[in-house]
Amino acid sequence: MPDKGVNEQNPAPETPESEGQESPKKKGLPKWAILAAVLLVQVAGSYYLQKTLIFGDPATAVEVKPEKQEKGKHAKEKKSETESEHLSTIMIEEIIVNPAETAGRRYLAISVGLLTEAPEAEKLFEDKKPLIRDALISLFSSKYLDQLSSIQYRDTLKEEVKVVVNKQFSDAPVKGVLFTGYVLQ
């Protein structure tokens, strides 16, 4: 005769002694060990990339053939020498404007160098400097913040500066534009 206090269908509740025992499941690596291994692999990979790609050793870098390197170097030097011999730079010092739709909370401080071939460029530009500054202030303040912060847009902006300044003269004396200072705050 079965025991009256024990029900065969419902086993006895677990006691605190049986809770402390491990289950027969297969136990894997602890989570902290897996995280440590992943972190170690990431650090090693970062170190490798930094050493090889970013701050590579010049001794291990692929060398360019000397003859091609010299030809390219001389051609660049000749080009820059001829450009610098014929071009003079007229500086338009720091123009400060608020970009469009910033409500005065942001500003652009920019210094512009105008490259010109005109031999009498200093006098030409000195006479028209207030008109040039006004045109540049209008141009820069009409630009939106996303345009001014885009590095790709700066080449377009240089061309726009060239066009705006050349409109102040009967001939087009400005051949190029340099941004010698560009602070967007």
Cα angle value 45/51/57 (rounded, 5°)? 155
116: Cβ–Cβ under 8 A, 6 or more apart, which residues? 87, 88, 89, 90, 125, 173, 174, 175
CA distance 24 to 164: 81
- What is the pLDDT at residue 44? 81
With 0.85 as the threshold, say if the pTM is over it: no
133: Cβ–Cβ under 8 A, 6 or more apart, which residues? 92, 95
- What is the pLDDT at residue 8? 54
Q: How confident is the prediction along the chain (185 residues), in pLDDT tens digits per residue?
A: 555 555 555 555 555 555 555 555 556 778 888 888 888 888 887 777 666 666 554 444 444 444 444 455 555 454 444 455 678 888 999 999 999 999 989 999 999 999 998 777 788 888 899 999 999 999 999 999 999 999 999 999 999 999 999 999 888 889 999 999 999 98
- φ, ψ (nearest 5 deg) of residue 105: -85, -20
* 114 SS3 class: strand
The number of residues in the chain equals 185
Provide the total of helices (H) and of strands (E) in the chain, helices listed first: 6, 3
